[in-house]
């Protein structure tokens, strides 16, 4: 990855001139990881057209050397990252105007810029690195694919272990163990395990509810591999499905199929969302699909772009997005089927390979 | 808890006058949960001396009614939380000066206050609610105790399953499953499983390293119960310990014992830190204890107060803090033993009941 990182830093450096800033202070750990490879939890990064300087603390002395190599000069700062930054900047004569990440700096730290950093001029910046991160290169797609493989393999091993009488929390535990056994280095978000009427809550947390015959059972979770995330949802039925469960499931499955086969670079986020939404509406379930179709995926499990009714921006080639239509009926339950799709030059490429048919469990 | 919440809101309302603000906008989800009981992931809260108004989105319509009751008036906002806030505020004639949470508002949203909210005056506030949260009431201590019981029970069930040849990731999976089986509703942080030389890294993530005979094996993890967290670390030896492992372990164990038995309300954070640090220094291992002794624990796994060399503030009665001395030797390994202690009126009360003796596993 060092070559990609050098290219990314060069692309960012080129943007600095356009924004009329002499340098950019980065506080987003995901953006810092993207540019330098550093995966620790404490860092500031300064990027100028000439160089990148990374500041971290003593806990990461060994790790930062391994991960960053000569992409950035590293400073291990004993007092605080900000003290280290001021010391660095004071030695750099040519820097007068600096950008900072408006979406990743809390107000308290913004006040530091205006007090301790008052000798420089500060310009808020939005999405400079996020924009670079949208299109994934081949290596990144391979890492997301591996995260998707971990997730689908874990799911395959969990299915035979689901039993009537287990709680949602217990199923979450079985799933988390399976993810670790397959090599997931972290959970991109706490898994959702929602059964029966709780499957109608799009953001349910696992509860002590026990799984019962006749339930819909919704699992929404991800895996992480070298920082990159996957995100998948499948909905099962416990025992035999009712006609209504079958019907709703089939509509969501077909909406997923239509959208994931038809989504293309160049489409607006709104048009992509409509691929699934208009189908669900035609089937009479439009009111039941209350959220948007999907979101970008990479070093973060929610990143640009968004596939939603309000988004006029076009999807760029190379993005990896979730396609996750759902139908929710309060008191009855919900069905969501979510896949990760790479919008390649050759059309949409499915990264989450797992059956989309209705599976009976327990 | 409704009565406690009413008292908390009243305490906060009393602070508003002292800060010369007519109301406070809360953006910290932990602070909002503390004051109202709402546990969703999307909310703004406005507190004035007269009332509390909570704004969330449609996904939480059912949940917010269950959790908040009549503690706060709830607004379900279809467009965005901020649009909802402006609409609310425009109807409240007596409000001119508003506080906001400087440590919980990103710069981008701060700019909204200055643009869309320009008809009000804005005052940054720090730690108004965090300060209330420091001292735990009886119910909160009981919830943290239950989170501690979940963690120690899970650990007890994991120990017999640790085997030479398992990877750190696999051990993390066994632990995560055990935590779910005991009822943990979430992981307050990703568990640390660090073996052999990796146990010298205070913030190691589980890796694919396999556990070997002779390793130190460090597990640092927590459980969560109704929002409240526990945080515990134990270090084991795989097979028979060497004399050096025994010696280092005994020093850390005794440092933990001294500090957790002697820590008292009224001590400064610095004096509490010194309880363990001076003992470790006298044993000749001062250089190996690179982090601070502990931190507060509650709805967040790291909250006020801090037990550290730089902290002159006194510990308040009722806080729950971690006591986590450690000795780390690069290349050799590390030992950390961490417990959760409630500083009650009757002295320190240990919440994490699990042997502190050196246990041989596998």
Say if residue A98's pLDDT is above 90.
yes
Interface check B115 vs A, CB under 8 A: no
Q: Where in chain A is the domain with CATH 3.40.350.10?
A: 2-131
Give the model's pLDDT for residue B310. 94
pLDDT in tens, B307-346: 999 999 999 999 999 999 999 999 999 999 999 999 999 9
Residue B107 to residue A108, Cβ atoms within 8 A: no
pLDDT, mean of residues A63-73: 94
Q: Are residues A187 and B190, on separate chains, in Cβ contact within 8 Å?
A: yes
Sort out which chain A residues have CB atoms less than 8 A from B108's CB and list them: 102-103, 124, 126
Q: What is the pLDDT of residue A49?
A: 95
- Pick A41's closest partner by Cβ from B58, B177, B203: B203
- Give the one of B126, B179, B185 whose C-beta lies nearest to A205's C-beta: B185
User: So what's the pLDDT on residue A281?
Assistant: 98
Q: Which pTM does this prediction carry?
A: 0.95
What pLDDT is attached to residue B150? Answer: 98
Q: Is A291 on the interface with B (CB under 8 A)?
A: yes
Chain B nearest-CA distance from A15, in A, is 20
With CA atoms as reference, the chain A residue closest to B207 would be: A185
pLDDT at position B169 is: 97
pLDDT at B89: 97
**In this structure, are strands A121-125 and A23-26 parallel, antiparallel, or unpaired?**
unpaired
Is A98 an interface residue toward B (CB < 8 Å)?
no
Strand partners of residue A294: A307
Measured between CB atoms, does B197 come within 8 Å of chain A? no
| Cβ <8 Å between B179 and A190 | no
For residue B166, is pLDDT > 90? yes
- With beta carbons less than 8 A apart as the criterion, state whether B194 and B168 touch: yes
Nearest to B350 by CA among B218, B235, B229, B262: B262
Distance from CA of B177 to the nearest CA of A (A): 4
- Whether the bond between B305 and the residue before it is cis, its omega within 30 degrees of 0, is yes
Please report residues of B whose CB lies closer than 8 A to that of A110. Answer: 107, 110
CATH node for B2-132? 3.40.350.10
Distance from the Cα of B201 to chain A's closest Cα (Å) equals 7
Q: Residue A54: pLDDT band by 50, 70, 90 thresholds?
A: very high
Measured between CB atoms, does B206 come within 8 Å of chain A?
yes
CATH topology assigned to domain B135-361: Creatine Amidinohydrolase (3.90.230)
Q: Which fold has domain A2-131?
A: Creatine Amidinohydrolase; Chain A, domain 1 (3.40.350)
Indicate yes or no: CB of B184 within 8 angstroms of CB of A169: yes
Judge whether B41 is closer than 8 Å to chain A, CB to CB: yes
Percent of chain A with pLDDT over 90: 95
* Region for A199 from its dihedrals, namely left if φ exceeds 0, alpha if ψ lies in -120 to 50, beta otherwise: alpha
When CB atoms are compared, the residue of B103, B108, B174 closest to A177 is B174
- Is some CB atom of chain B closer than 8 A to the CB atom of A173? yes
> Is B23 strand, coil or helix?
strand
Please give the Cα distance from A269 to A276 (Å, whole number).
12
The Cα A84–Cα A99 span in angstroms is: 17
pLDDT band at A88 (very low <50, low <70, confident <90, very high): very high
Average pLDDT over residues B93-120: 97
Average pLDDT, chain A: 96
Distance CA B269, CA B263 (A): 10
CA-derived radius of gyration, chain A: 23
Q: Would you place residue A287 in the very low, low, confident or very high pLDDT band (cuts 50, 70, 90)?
A: very high
Residues above pLDDT 90, as percent of chain B = 95
Mean pLDDT of A39-50: 96
Tokens of B310: 């730089």
Grade residue B172 by pLDDT with cuts at 50, 70 and 90: very high
Alpha carbons within 13 A on the beta-carbon side of B206 = 31
Cβ-defined contact of B106 to A108 (cutoff 8 Å): no
Q: Which residue in A has a C-alpha nearest to residue B168's C-alpha?
A: A180
Residue A203 binned pLDDT confidence (cut-offs 50, 70, 90): confident
Q: Is the ipTM above a cut-off of 0.85? A: yes
B-proximal residues of A, 305-344, CB under 8 Å: 330
Mean pLDDT of A71-88: 94
* The two three-digit tokens of residue B99, written as one number: 């506080």
Q: List every span in chain A annotated with CATH 3.90.230.10.
A: 135-361
For residue B250, CA distances in Å to B276, B340, B357 come to 13, 19, 8
Residues of B in Cβ contact (< 8 Å) with A174 = 177, 180
How many beta-carbon contacts under 8 Å exist across A and B?
Answer: 116
Nearest CA distance, B106 vs chain A (angstrom)? 4
Residue A353 CB burial class (10 angstroms; 0-12, 13-18, ≥19): exposed
Task: Look at residue B78 and tell me whether its pLDDT is greater than 90.
Answer: no
Contact (CB<8Å) B203/A58 = no
Please answer yes or no on whether B173 and A176 come within 8 Å at the CB atom.
yes
Strands (E), B291-353: 294-296, 303-307, 320-323, 326-329, 333-336, 339-344, 347-350
Q: Where in chain B is the domain with CATH 3.40.350.10?
A: 2-132
- Would an 8 Å CB–CB cutoff place B229 in contact with chain A? no
For residue B63, which residues of chain A lie inside 8 Å, CB to CB? Answer: 201
Please tell me the distance in Å from A51's CA to the nearest CA on chain B. Answer: 26
More confident position, A3 or B324 = B324
pLDDT at A1: 73
Average pLDDT over residues B260-279: 98
Q: Do B201 and A62 touch (CB under 8 A)?
A: yes
Using 50, 70 and 90 to split pLDDT, how confident is the model at A58? confident
Interface contact A173-B180, CB threshold 8 A: yes
């Amino acid at each position: 990855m060092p070559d990609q990182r050098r290219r990314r830093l060069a692309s960012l450096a080129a943007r600095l001139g356009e924004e009329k800033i002499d340098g950019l202070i980065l506080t987003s750990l995901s953006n810092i990881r993207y540019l330098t490879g550093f995966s620790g939890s404490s860092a500031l990064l300064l990027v100028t057209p000439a160089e990148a300087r990374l500041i971290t603390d003593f806990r990461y002395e060994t790790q930062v050397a391994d991960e960053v190599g000569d992409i950035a000069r590293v400073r291990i700062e004993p007092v605080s990252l900000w003290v280290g930054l001021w010391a660095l900047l004071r030695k750099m004569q040519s820097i007068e105007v600096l950008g900072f990440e408006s979406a990743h700096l809390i107000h308290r730290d913004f006040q530091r810029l205006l007090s301790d950093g008052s000798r420089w001029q500060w310009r808020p910046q939005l999405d400079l690195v996020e924009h670079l991160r949208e299109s994934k290169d081949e290596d990144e797609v391979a890492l997301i694919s591996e995260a998707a493989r971990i997730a689908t393999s874990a799911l395959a091993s969990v299915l035979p272990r689901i039993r009537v009488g287990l709680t949602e929390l217990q199923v979450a535990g079985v799933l988390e163990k399976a993810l670790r056994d397959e090599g997931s280095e972290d959970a991109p978000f706490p898994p959702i395990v929602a059964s029966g009427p709780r499957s109608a809550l799009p953001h349910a947390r696992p509860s002590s509810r026990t799984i019962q015959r006749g339930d819909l059972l919704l699992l929404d979770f991800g895996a992480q591999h070298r920082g990159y995330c996957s995100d998948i949802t499948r909905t099962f039925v416990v025992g035999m499905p009712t006609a209504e469960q079958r019907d709703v499931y089939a509509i969501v499955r077909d909406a997923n199929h239509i959208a994931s086969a038809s989504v293309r670079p160049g489409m607006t986020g709104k048009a992509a969302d409509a691929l699934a939404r208009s189908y669900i509406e035609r089937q009479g379930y439009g009111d039941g699909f209350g959220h948007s179709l999907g979101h970008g995926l990479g070093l973060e499990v929610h990143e640009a772009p968004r596939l939603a009714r309000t988004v006029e921006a076009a999807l760029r080639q190379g993005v990896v997005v979730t396609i996750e239509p759902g139908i929710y009926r309060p008191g009855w339950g919900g069905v969501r089927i979510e896949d990760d799709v790479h919008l390649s030059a050759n059309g949409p490429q499915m990264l989450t390979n797992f059956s989309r048919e209705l599976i009976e469990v327990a």
